[in-house]
Amino acid sequence: MSIHKATLFVTIALILYSSKSDGGVLIGDAGLSQSTIDGFNLNPANLGFSSLNYLDFKLLIYSEDTLAIQYRGLDPIVKKQKGSFINTKLSAFQSGTPVSATLSHPEYKLAYTFVFVPPVAIGSSLTLRNIPLVALESQNYVDIKVKNLKLNGYLAGKIGKRFGKSFSIGSSIRYLSLAAEADVIESASQISFLSLDQEIAIGNISMGMRYDFSSSFSLGLVFDLFSMGFTDIKTDLVPSPSGETNYELQNPTDSFAVGIEYRNKSRSLWLDSYYKRAKEEETVSLASGTLKPKDNYTTISFRAGLQEKFSRRLSLLSGYRYEPASVGSGGSGPDSKAGFGTFEMIQLVAFGSDLTPFHQLSVGGQVRLGRVRVKGKKGKKAKGKSFYSFIISSGLVYKEASLGVDDEGDQPGAYYQKSFSVPLDITYRF
């Protein structure tokens, strides 16, 4: 077989974003109606209920990830990764930056957040060795070197406005563009087959709403107004009738989310559900070496979180999350769709993406420090009104995923992923 036909898979390694939104991992990334920095990340309408300014720092104290891959009749291949503090693999651009700020104008019942990163050459190269691939019905091992990685620009912003005491609306916008070059080398011979240039761009505009039925119950909604993503590939690996060497792979999404919150003096409980409709999407099938429609499925995921207050300063946090698989097994026939394949494999190995379906469990604690008394109109301290300026959260997160793909699929085999991490979140309010 011609191993260099497999090299086109590298392009998806640069799609570093996820269509999902993440909040507080220790409460299962739930909270579509939560008036905190994590709730702002999930639903821009929550900004309308903000009365303080926020500055948030998200760190990863420790992480360990294990990925196992096995094809029929062959020994399993196990990849392990360990890390500490801020993840160095551009995870900051997957769902938000590790540092974010929110500015509030309580007199107008309005708040907003904005992040802009100008074009910058990220520089350092990344080499992945002995990556198992199934291409043209044969297993191969290749080394992939991603180099000259450049961030062309990153922009993210949210704004929320409250009307009256109970209702708010908000909107968010996000844009990311990356460019890179990649070399693919056969592991055994170290022969370089080809280099490719690629550029990806993604964008999303969404709208959110929140309504408080009472002091105990809230409802939050978020839906896409516009979402797009494309990969521009400069290569002649996939034959084209027109002779062109540029291919654009479209990645449309259409999602809707609804969540509820119950709260009292000592407890807050969140339950969210995310709906993502399957849409037509193209990918590259290594089984045939051609562009093919992708075997996509509609998914419904669930997130739940709990905060139990033991005192004014200390709380217990816990969460659960379930994310189903959105890509089927596909098939290797000329008229079949492309399923879970090499593109997804490289995302898993190179950039720590999530294998689905997965279950995530978390438990931790939260400490509130630095009590501040709110001042009234004449500069006097308002009776009974105060807040804590520092909120520190940490704990343990365990995630497990497994996927078995049919033998006739685009990337036949069995896959297993397990991760363990210790996040740290520090929020300053003023």
- C-alpha Rg value of the chain to the nearest Å: 23
Question: H-type helices in 214-299, by residue range?
Answer: none
Sequential DSSP letters for 318-379: EEEEEE---B--B-SSTTSPB-S-HHHHHHHHHH-PPPSSEEEEEEEEEEEEEEEEEE-TTS
Tokens representing 315 are 């709380």
- State the pLDDT confidence band at 334, using cuts at 50, 70 and 90: confident
User: Which DSSP category does 294 fall into?
Assistant: B
Tokens representing 135 are 């291409």
Q: What is the mean pLDDT of the chain?
A: 80
Distance between CA atoms of 154 and 94, rounded to whole angstroms? 11
Asked whether the beta carbons of 62 and 84 are under 8 A apart, the reply is yes
Region 84-96 average pLDDT: 43
Tokens representing 363 are 């438990």
Q: Which residues pair with 369 in a beta bridge?
A: 390
In this structure, the number of other CB atoms found within 10 A of the CB of residue 238 comes to: 16
- State the pLDDT confidence band at 195, using cuts at 50, 70 and 90: low
Q: What percent of the chain has pLDDT over 90?
A: 41
User: Which DSSP category does 406 fall into?
Assistant: -
Only one residue has tokens 């000259």, namely 148
Q: Is the pLDDT of residue 389 over 90?
A: yes
Q: Which residues pair with 267 in a beta bridge?
A: 308
Q: Is the pLDDT of residue 262 over 50?
A: yes
What pLDDT is recorded for position 44?
Answer: 96
What pLDDT is recorded for position 84?
Answer: 64
Q: How far is residue 212 from each of residues 266, 283, 387, measured CA to CA in Å?
A: 18, 43, 21
Nearest to 65 by CA among 46, 43, 89: 89
Whole-model pTM: value is 0.82
Region 188-196 average pLDDT: 68
Region 380-409 average pLDDT: 86
What pLDDT is recorded for position 142?
Answer: 75
In this structure, the number of other CB atoms found within 10 A of the CB of residue 19 comes to: 18
**What does the pLDDT look like over 39-70, one tens digit per residue?**
998 999 999 999 999 999 888 888 888 988 88
Q: Is the pLDDT of residue 354 over 90?
A: no
